[in-house]
Amino acid sequence: MNQITLNTIEDYISSNPPAFLSSHKKLSLPIIRRIHKKMCIGIKFDDIKVCDGIIIDGHHRYISSLLASYTIGQVSSNKTSATVPCEWTTVEFVDEEWDTEAKIAEINRQDAEYNGVELEILIEMTNNS
């Protein structure tokens, strides 16, 4: 599996315009990479939340699912007056880690539990992919 880069995402978006708009102007590449790896090995994820064609919650999951050719569910949600849609071509994908090691460990624990997989196996599978 190839490493997800800014070019990977930009090339994908320019060739395959996403169906939903973003409501975030910035996303973290390390988070996208972690989710993408998990999707490529079949780990299940919660649905993304969408309102009027705009992603309300699940931006990293959505982009990761597109890159991994992974079908992610969608549920209706509500937007607020602060929700501002933006095109994916204007979203800044930053190579910053937004999660702490403790948060990453907790997310891995939750993903393992949600998927009925032992945590050590999930970690080994994602480290080897």
- Give all strands (DSSP E) within 5-104, no chain letters: 26-28, 48-51, 54-57, 74-76, 92-94
- Give all strands (DSSP E) within 5-125, no chain letters: 26-28, 48-51, 54-57, 74-76, 92-94
Task: Report the share of the chain in percent with pLDDT over 70.
Answer: 98
19-77 pLDDT, tens per residue? 999 999 999 999 999 999 999 999 999 999 999 999 999 999 999 999 999 999 999 99
Which of 53, 1, 43, 44 lies closest to 23, judged by CA? Answer: 53
Contact 43, 116 (CB under 8 A): no
Its pTM stands at 0.93
